[in-house]
Amino acid sequence: MQASKRPRDESFPVASLVLSRAHRDAVLAFYRFARMADDIADAPDLKADEKLARLDSLEQALVEGDPKIPQAAQLHAVDRRYGAGLVEARDLVRAFRRDAVKTRYADWAELTDYCAVSANPVGRFLLRLHGESETAHGPADALCTALQILNHVQDCQPDQKRLDRIYLPVSWLQVAGGETAFFEPSNASLRRAVLNGVLDRVDGLIDRARVLPERLQDRRLRAQSIATLALAQRLSRRLRSCDPALTRVRISRADAAMAFLRGLAGAARPASSRDTDITAAAVRRSGSSFRLGMKSLSADRRRAIHAVYAFCREVDDIADGALPSWEKRRFLNEWRREIDRLHRAPETPIGRELARASSLFRLPLGECHALLDGMETDCQERVRLADDHALNTYGRRVAGSVGVLSIHVFGAPTAQSFAQELGHTLQLVNILRDIDEDAALERVYIPLSRLARHGLHDAPASVLASDPRFARVCENLADEARAGFAAADEALRRLDRSSLKPAVLMMESYRRILDRLVARGWGTRSGKLQLTAVDRLQLIGLAVRAA
């Protein structure tokens, strides 16, 4: 059977020149065997039973080192020399057996379970081949799973057309209207939302893998891992900006060359963690008022608040993502488990940074769980709050929790009441600012009891938000937010204002947003309101004085 691909045709490096010659030859033997098995599983002219029979024969030839099948005999010899190849290749054959009979994956767990045998064995083989320790297994698995899913996204159109296989979770495609609707060229916006949800999960895997180079002893393998990470990040970014359902998205030769040079340069330097890069990147995507507030903090406190913000951003993105609500809750539960193991062995970059912040500033980690409770409310396919008690509970969870975590980082843990009340006020402003954006997600955070007092009853969110009576409810909520800011001003008279500089800057930013909302009015909303250039200059002035 003619091989369909050669090493140079793959999206990611195979037997790179970075590796030693002996290791390269072993990797090529592994690749040739895997390619032969893959071609059997993908053969369009073979029925499932014939594919399974051929895969069985190929596996048996590998175990025996049958010289009649050179690919099997060569890999058998590699295993005898290095003690690596046989176990991992047999795992791959298990994956190819699935490919012969299975064409759909129900959810994310089922997809990643497939990747555990279709991709992770490749990384395990490289680690065993180079004599690396088991501490590298976790990040290597994360990288291999990320690479596999990136290939699935990259090949989603040819896989569906040529093989009738769809590796993206079927339940996620339902968010875009189902399989047919997902691949419909005109359905670009819904397809984009689903693809971005997949890529969010992939980027999380890449982040987990970024500690891999520092856990590798072999400098050549470290160089290849750095280059592969760089290519994975580049492909993820390209898949966000291009539509793989319409055109093949590829890594360019320039990308490959840059990644190769980055790998060589990185391997020559002492290994170092990139966890702080990840949390700082989350902050760079935040609003300018947040970044301004952080500038007045010392380096350790700034690093800690970056970790808090990155955690908040991560779970908020899960709740807002275009994926089934039960999948969102599963991902939030993964974060619950991560919070619970912070002081033992956190597995994520954000978790490691949160653990550091908690040890330095005694963070009340129960507040992280409170935030996750609030995010679970947002995970519902249809959000309604019954009354003021429900609104207060929701605000305490999604905003008060962040405030309490923040004041511990700022060095003002006794200001807990201030943090909770200010958090509630800022959340009211968020609700007023995001009415239409929330309505598009079928979310209404103004309590039904308040709407009922104005003769409004539950209806589709867009209908409620466009009713003239809804504007009067917004006016009342705005009055409460103004009163909240006044109460915060009064509370600050009794508190150490210098340690609360970031909170003050955030408060002033939101006060200006509320002023703009009130000036615009509630019946003529158009797009999400942003601070003006004058507002930003005033905030910069406040930040300079605070610093």
Q: Which of 143, 309, 291, 285 is nearest to 227 (CA)?
A: 143
Type of residue at 487: A
- Asked if residue 542 lies in contact with residue 531, where contact means CB atoms within 8 angstroms, the answer is no
* The pLDDT value given to residue 17: 64
* The pLDDT value given to residue 330: 96
pLDDT tens for 477-536 read 999 999 999 999 999 999 988 899 889 988 998 999 999 999 988 876 666 666 565 555
3-state secondary structure 101-162: HCCECCCHHHHHHHHHHHCHHHHHHHHHHCCCCHHHHHHHHHHHHHHHHHHHHHCHHHHHHH
Alpha-carbon distance of 301 to 303, in angstroms, equals 5
Q: Which of 223, 272, 224, 230 is nearest to 254 (CA)?
A: 230
- Asked if residue 507 lies in contact with residue 293, where contact means CB atoms within 8 angstroms, the answer is no
Non-local (6+) Cβ contacts of 469 within 8 A are: 451, 454, 455, 456
Alpha-carbon distance of 290 to 406, in angstroms, equals 12
Beta bridge partner(s), residue 443: 383
Residues in the chain, overall count: 547
Non-local (6+) Cβ contacts of 313 within 8 A are: 282, 285, 286
For the question of whether the overall pTM of this predicted structure is more than 0.85, the answer is: yes
* The pLDDT value given to residue 544: 47
CA 335 to chain centre: 12
As given in the structure block, the two tokens for residue 329 are: 């809750």
CA dihedral of residues 349, 352, 353, 354 (deg, nearest 10): 120
| DSSP code string of 357-395 | HHHHH---THHHHHHHHHHHHHTSSSEE--SHHHHHHHH
* The pLDDT value given to residue 8: 53
Average pLDDT across each block of 10 residues of the chain; the chain has 547 residues. List them in order.
54 65 91 95 94 97 96 97 96 97 96 97 96 95 97 94 94 94 93 95 95 92 91 94 90 77 68 72 67 78 94 95 94 97 93 96 97 97 97 97 96 95 96 94 96 96 94 95 96 91 90 92 68 55 48
* The pLDDT value given to residue 546: 47
3-state secondary structure 405-428: HHHHHHCCHHHHHHHHHHHHHHHH
Alpha-carbon distance of 63 to 86, in angstroms, equals 7
* The pLDDT value given to residue 543: 44
Q: Which of 18, 28, 29, 11 is nearest to 221 (CA)?
A: 18
Beta bridge partner(s), residue 384: 444
Q: Which secondary-structure segment (H or E) carries 444? A: strand 443-444
What CA–CA distances, in Å, run from 222 to 39, 85, 216, 389, 535? 30, 20, 6, 54, 47
Alpha-carbon distance of 447 to 443, in angstroms, equals 11
Which segments of 322-365 does DSSP mark as H helices, in order?
A: 325-340, 349-361
CA 275 to chain centre: 14
- Asked if residue 500 lies in contact with residue 492, where contact means CB atoms within 8 angstroms, the answer is yes
Angle at alpha carbon of residue 447, lines to 446 and 448, rounded to 5°: 120
